[in-house]
């Protein structure tokens, strides 16, 4: 049975069970691969107490308003769990004793106004929730604090993941903080050095496998059945629970008035599943009165969900052989496709794809706003432009983009874009000329005042008006 936490006055933590997303089987424990013992599909965490209270306006016997004010008050506390932008919302998380919480003060990420990008996309109001401002630079930390804490509580010595880089960086950090060893499986040559270097620094046993992400994940699923390692990919439903708090925090930042649209990148599809779960739970608990449409954007070269919905009506997964410069979402066989497809249906969201050039352009536009993000995050703005053109996002509607990773996660992409050789030798090379206004290549000069002044004057004449 899950551990019970020490309750605070008036607020009870939530007991939970594992629920199969396909056959509905309920259980108190799971096998190491986090698959349903009956049908083999994915599990999610469910909260039976909420069902008992009819999922009206009460979570664990507390009203929605009580929850909102409890969460607000915790912002004044200096207890580690309250300083975490994840555990601050612990009533909507599986219950865990405080002593087991492994936290790096994750969450608490900013919501930025994006007026320039709004103009570019043609919407009146655009904001970006920047999950790249988390301790290891990506949205993964919100899920990792919960999954690592439960692994710590269960006494695991080794935790492991397959990754395109961010999961591994995050898991390695949380393992180190929780006194656990970490095993990282990444595709050789297909993740950025920044992310790889994080895993090394945080002490992970890092294996670069001669395969792609999907091959790494397949191998991990076999490994956890053979070796005493605990898997922390987003198949692990505790990860999804932590990632839910992104949406809870967003609604709190918006004074519980949901935007019309939330747009998120799609890779292995854990994050979109988590945001959707949070939105549905918040609506059912009376924390918000209506659902935003949650839309998922993929890279054209890694568009398994787009194809699954368009060509198979969302009934079976169409895997693809993934190829994109956004290495974070270079995934062809997304594990959580079924959860994501359901979330799209439940919220009425869209699923779109964008080209490599559209993504590169959007990344530079976000950067020019002083925000910056990694390439995978930029698919959100590129996708928004398409959804506006299609009339799916309507005049006057409010939109929030979820930026998933920090600009510094993939400096090679940024440098190559600005130097102009990002797509050198590829079919996209000629399209790059259209983006020359966005490029700011570094200039090498002799170290004289004249040279710098001349360069400044020239730039001043040619600078685009802001
Ligand atoms: N954006 C970034 C920066 C990512 O690192 C990922 C996934 C995604 C978007 C897609 O999120 O998989 O939940 O749909 N990165 C994983 C990793 C796969 O291993 O770091 P998703």
pLDDT tens digits, 112-122: 999 999 999 99
Ligand 1 environment, Cβ below 6 A: 138, 140, 163-167, 234, 265-272, 328-329, 374, 376-377, 404-405
Tokens of 142: 């919100």
Which of 220, 246, 271 best tests ligand 1's pocket when mutated (most atoms within 8 Å of CB)? 271
What per-residue confidence (pLDDT) applies to 58?
Answer: 44
Query: Which ligand 1 atom lies nearest to the CA of residue 376?
Result: 1
Which residues is 162 bridged to in the sheet?
A: 185
Confidence of residue 2 (pLDDT cuts 50, 70, 90): very low
Task: Give the least confident one: 28-37, 52-61, 77-86, 136-145.
Answer: 52-61
- Tens of pLDDT, residues 239-293: 999 999 999 999 999 999 999 999 999 999 999 999 999 999 999 999 999 999 9
What per-residue confidence (pLDDT) applies to 464?
Answer: 61
Which of 194, 268, 383, 408 best tests ligand 1's pocket when mutated (most atoms within 8 Å of CB)? 268
Locus of tokens 């207890």: 79
Which of 328, 338, 381 best tests ligand 1's pocket when mutated (most atoms within 8 Å of CB)? 328
pLDDT of residue 202 exceeding 80: yes
Confidence of residue 462 (pLDDT cuts 50, 70, 90): confident
pLDDT of residue 466 exceeding 80: no
How many alpha carbons fall within 13 Å on the CB side of residue 225? 7
CA distance linking residue 143 with residue 435, whole number of Å: 36
pLDDT of residue 238 exceeding 90: yes
What per-residue confidence (pLDDT) applies to 12?
Answer: 47
* C-alpha 105 – ligand 1 centre gap (Å): 20
pLDDT of residue 175 exceeding 80: yes
Mean pLDDT to the nearest integer, 103-124: 98
- Angstrom CA distances, 216 to 68, 212, 373, 376, 399, stand at 41, 6, 26, 20, 35
CA distance linking residue 423 with residue 413, whole number of Å: 10
């Amino acid at each position: 049975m899950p551990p019970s936490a020490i309750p605070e006055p008036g607020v009870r933590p939530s007991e939970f069970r594992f629920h199969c997303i396909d056959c509905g089987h309920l259980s108190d424990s799971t096998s190491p691969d986090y698959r349903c013992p009956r049908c083999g599909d994915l599990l999610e965490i469910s909260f039976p107490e909420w069902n008992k209270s009819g999922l009206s306006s009460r979570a664990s016997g507390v009203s929605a308003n009580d929850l909102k004010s409890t969460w607000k008050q915790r912002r004044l506390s200096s207890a580690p769990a309250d300083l975490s932008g994840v555990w601050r919302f612990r009533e909507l998380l599986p219950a865990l004793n405080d002593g087991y919480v492994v936290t790096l003060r994750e969450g608490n990420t900013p919501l930025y106004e994006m007026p320039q990008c709004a103009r570019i996309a043609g919407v009146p109001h655009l904001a970006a929730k920047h999950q790249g401002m988390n301790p290891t630079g990506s949205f993964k930390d919100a899920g990792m604090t919960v999954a690592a804490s439960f692994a710590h509580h269960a006494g695991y010595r080794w935790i492991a993941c397959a990754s395109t880089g961010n999961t591994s960086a995050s898991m390695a950090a949380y393992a180190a903080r929780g006194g656990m060893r970490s095993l990282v499986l990444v595709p050789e040559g297909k993740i950025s050095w920044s992310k790889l270097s994080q895993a090394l620094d945080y002490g992970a046993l890092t294996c670069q496998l001669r395969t792609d992400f999907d091959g790494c994940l397949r191998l991990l699923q076999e490994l956890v059945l053979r070796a005493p390692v605990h898997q922390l990919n987003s198949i692990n439903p505790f990860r999804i629970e932590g990632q839910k708090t992104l949406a809870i925090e967003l609604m709190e930042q918006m004074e519980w008035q949901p935007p019309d649209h939330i747009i998120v990148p799609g890779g292995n599809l854990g994050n979109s599943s988590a945001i959707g779960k949070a939105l549905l739970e918040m609506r059912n608990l009376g924390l918000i009165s209506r659902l935003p449409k949650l839309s998922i954007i993929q890279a054209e070269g890694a568009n398994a969900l787009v194809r699954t919905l368009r060509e198979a009506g969302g009934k079976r997964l169409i895997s693809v052989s993934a190829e994109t410069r956004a290495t974070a979402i270079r995934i062809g066989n997304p594990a959580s496709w079924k959860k994501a497809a359901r979330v799209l249906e439940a919220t009425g969201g869209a699923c779109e794809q964008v080209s490599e050039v559209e993504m590169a352009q959007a990344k530079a536009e976000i950067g020019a706003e002083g925000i910056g993000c990694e390439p995978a995050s930029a698919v959100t703005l590129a996708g928004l432009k398409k959804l506006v053109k299609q009339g799916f996002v309507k005049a006057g509607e409010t939109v929030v983009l979820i930026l998933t990773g920090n600009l510094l996660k993939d400096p090679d992409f940024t440098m190559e874009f600005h130097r102009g050789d990002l797509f050198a030798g590829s079919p996209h090379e000629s399209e790059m000329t259209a983006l020359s206004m966005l490029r700011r290549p570094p200039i090498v000069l002799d170290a004289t005042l004249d040279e710098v002044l001349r360069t400044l004057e020239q730039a001043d004449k040619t600078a685009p008006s802001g």
